[in-house]
Chain A
Amino acid sequence: MPAYHSVFLDEPNQHLIGNFALLPLRTRTRGPALQLPPLPANLTDLTIDASHESYDPLDEVLSLFRANTFFRNFEIKGPADRVLIYGILYVSEVLGKIKPGMGKREAEKAVMNIALDTNFAIPGDAGFPLNQAFEAPSDRNSAETLRQYLMQVRQELATRLLNRVFADGTNVPSKWWLSFTKRKFMGKTL
């Protein structure tokens, strides 16, 4: 059984830039992503099911992250898988910023620093590690849209990850999550 793939692969009417899918997100940050309805009161990040209408690719990234980081080989089956790859690599990067001794405040600051940084590589840029698998956007406009979409992904993912890492309310980052900082999904880092 190889690594896990995205459940959004068969989603109809995907908006593509290059071969990257701009899937709808459940976020309040502003950007080009279509909005999904917020979580109903009886559900949390942890209990949402993949078939629920509010389930977004970022929920999927967080649930597959720990399993998929063990794999070095991953066959990309479609544009939605590229969202998954980007998300997982980004989570690795963010986890690397949280040090075991940090409190929640301090970690938030370190993480938001990279989440809000607008100067990151997007597919097609020279610094992007997966350019063999990701197509560059065709023109300047779509590159800008892709950058803004990734910005939304980065901010929302950072917030949700912080919630998970500090889930137990002790102000100490969970060592269960931090133990994954050394593993590299597909042997790559952002």
Chain B
Amino acid sequence: MASQTPAVVMDNGTGYSKLGFAGNDSPSFVFPTAIATKSQGGGAGGSGSGRPAVANKPSFLTGGAGPSGHLSGKRGTEDLDFFIGDEALSASAGPGYGIHYPIRHGQIDNWDLMERFWSNSIFKYLRVEPEDHYFLLTEPPLNPPENRENTAEIMFESFNCAGLYIAVQAVLALAASWTSSKVQDRSLTGTVIDSGAGVTHVIPVAEGYVIGSSIKSVPIAGRDITNFVQSLLRDRGEPDSSLQTAERIKEEYCYVCPDIVKEFSRFDREPEDRFRKHIVKHPNGRSVTVDVGYERFLAPEIFFNPEIYSSDFLTPLPNIVDTVIQSSPIDVRRGLYKNIVLSGGSTLYKDFGRRLQRDIRHMVDARIKASEARSGGAKSGGLEVQVITHKRQRHGPWFGGSLLGQTPEFRSYCHTKAEYDEIGPSIVRRFALLGGPGST
């Protein structure tokens, strides 16, 4: 039986969790990585949300249940009183529940809550028997091996899952880019630009292994773009400048332009074509119209000109990518420039890849020219810079996991329950490289 079931692919990010089955085109569930628990639960995970305590009923009101009036007697059921995902958000809006985010900066922060989050993910959302399925989980680059061991402990001992593979998100994002027609050889060498809600990472990967010393992160990502759109709306005094509206505008209308001055004059010359109107419907039936203008191209511009948004971080994304590649080992740089892969929701703007490619290429060409001049007559063969835009960018790591999890040899790369029982948690410190040379 276990040999026919598809692998379960779970990508738990700081903002959203993506759950689904290997071989599918898109995740079955995407919801916030949030969990709502009873704030006064006494359970190990409740880190206290600062809500006032719900008054305990005097014991005579709890009926004849005897010890249930006592806190320790209740503990068994209180552990089960929680919600995850969107339900958690709505539960926390009401009284009695506090919201927690078990993942911080990509890494699991609270293991007890994460275990409960996973148990609901598996039993309530995916509705699978973990004994029958192999699991593919993701981890951020530079995740400490202890975290892997903790994860394995929970997956094998609490859920008794059949087999487990833990992959690095950046490597999966590279695998997801194989669907693009621009990728000819399915190599696992490339630079991954992963931009989600909170932070943007630039991660060089050589033959499936992350070059940890060269990773750089940029404190500009989706949330900053939303805030910037909001501030532009406020400057103009639009009738609705809430964060939700700003987010909708960001997602629906924004694009990357080649040059902001030219784009401004284009707005002057073709106003009908460029300015848009966004209609916000309020729940009470009223609707207001918000004009959408320069933020269409200014908002994503903060990746390329951070100065227009922030005063403390000023390095443009193309420069960061260039620095990252230049600080990687010299024999892989060519491959890193040739395969720059986008991943995450904040890379979905139209022409994002094209602008990035152009800016990086300018820098590379200028450097080659300078070194040609210094060498006195030597000619360089040039360096290919290619940014890969593909259709699976939004859930890149999840899709890469789905792609690799459906291959026939996937199971042989996993560690099984039996192996875990024999060797112990340290077994998950090493995994054979999935999708590396020799496979597929």
List residues of chain A with CB under 8 Å of any chain B CB: 1-4, 46-47, 63-64, 66-67, 70-73, 100, 164, 167-168, 175-176, 178-180, 182-183
For the complex, would chain B's binding face be called helix, strand, loop or mixed by DSSP majority?
helix
Task: Say whether B307 contacts A2, CB under 8 Å.
Answer: yes
Distance from B246 Cβ to chain A, minimum over Cβ atoms (Å): 15
Alpha-carbon separation in the docked complex, A118 to B201 (Å): 54
CB atoms of B305 and A179 under 8 A apart: no
- Partner of B294 from A66, A72, A178 at Cβ < 8 Å: A66
Question: Which of A47, A66, A168 is in CB contact (< 8 Å) with B264?
Answer: A66
Given A46-B268, A47-B269, A63-B265; A70-B307 close (CB under 8 Å): yes
CA distance A139 to B93 in the complex (A): 71
Contact of B237 among A64, A167, A175, A183 (CB under 8 A): A175
Rounded to whole Å, the gap between the CB of A121 and the closest CB of chain B is: 27
Q: How far is the CB of A45 from chain B (nearest CB, A)?
A: 9
Interface string of B227-254 (1 = CB under 8 A from A): 0000010011100000000000000000
| Residues B261 and A1 in contact, CB atoms below 8 Å apart | no
Cβ of A46: which chain B residues have Cβ within 8 Å of it? Answer: 265, 268-269
Q: Of the candidates A67, A179, A180, A183, which one forms a contact with B261 in the assembled complex, judged by CB atoms under 8 Å apart?
A: A67
A176, B294: Cβ atoms closer than 8 Å: yes
Q: Select one of B236, B237, B261, B307 contacting A71, CB under 8 A.
A: B307
Cα A172 to Cα B304 with chains together (Å): 34
* B48 CB within 8 Å of chain A: no
Asked if A176 and B269 sit within 8 Å, CB to CB, the answer is no
Distance of A71 Cα from B294 Cα, bound (Å): 16
Q: Does B260 contact A (CB under 8 A)?
A: yes
Any A CB within 8 A of the CB of B15:
no
In the complex, chain A residues whose CB is within 8 Å of the CB of B291:
175
Q: A1-B316, A175-B237 are in contact. List 6 more A-B contacts (CB 8 A).
A: A46-B265, A63-B264, A176-B236, A176-B275, A176-B293, A180-B235
In the complex, residue of chain A having the shortest beta-carbon distance to the beta carbon of B304: A1
Task: Give the A-binding residues of B (Cβ under 8 A).
Answer: 232, 235-237, 260-261, 264-265, 267-269, 271, 275, 291, 293-294, 298, 304-305, 307-308, 311, 314, 316, 359
Residue of B nearest to A73 (CB): B307
Q: How far is the CA of A175 from the CA of B237 in the complex (A)?
A: 9
Q: Is the CB of B261 within 8 A of A64?
A: yes
**Cα distance A190–B28 when bound, in Å?**
58
Tell me how far the C-beta of B188 lies from the nearest C-beta in chain A, rounded to whole angstroms. 32
Choose among A72, A100, A178, A179 the residue that contacts B307 (Cβ–Cβ < 8 A): A72
Instruction: Determine how close the nearest CB of chain B comes to the CB of A99; give it in whole angstroms.
Output: 12
Which residues on A sit within 8 Å (CB–CB) of B275? 176
Q: How far is the CA of A164 from the CA of B275 in the complex (A)?
A: 16
Assess A182 versus B308: contact at CB under 8 Å? Given A63-B261, A67-B260, A67-B264: no
B274 CB, min distance to chain A CBs, angstroms: 10
* Closest chain A residue to B268, Cβ basis: A46
Contact residues in B for A2 (Cβ distance below 8 Å): 305, 307
Contact A182:B235 (CB < 8 A) given known A47-B269, A63-B265, A73-B307: yes
| Contact present for B236 and A175 (CB under 8 Å) | yes
A72 touches B311 (CB 8 A): yes
Given A2-B307, A46-B269: A179 and B235 within 8 A (CB)? yes
Q: How far is the CA of A67 from the CA of B146 in the complex (A)?
A: 49
Closest chain A residue to B359, Cβ basis? A1
Chain B residues closer than 8 Å to A64, beta-carbon distance = 261
User: Residues of B contacting A180 with CB < 8 Å?
Assistant: 235
What are 16 A-to-B residue pairs whose CB atoms are below 8 Å? A1-B305, A1-B359, A46-B269, A63-B264, A63-B265, A66-B294, A67-B264, A70-B308, A71-B308, A73-B307, A167-B268, A175-B291, A176-B267, A176-B294, A179-B235, A180-B235
Instruction: Give the distance in Å from the alpha carbon of A2 to the alpha carbon of B301 in the complex.
Output: 12
Which residues of the other chain, A, contact B294 by a CB distance below 8 angstroms?
66, 176
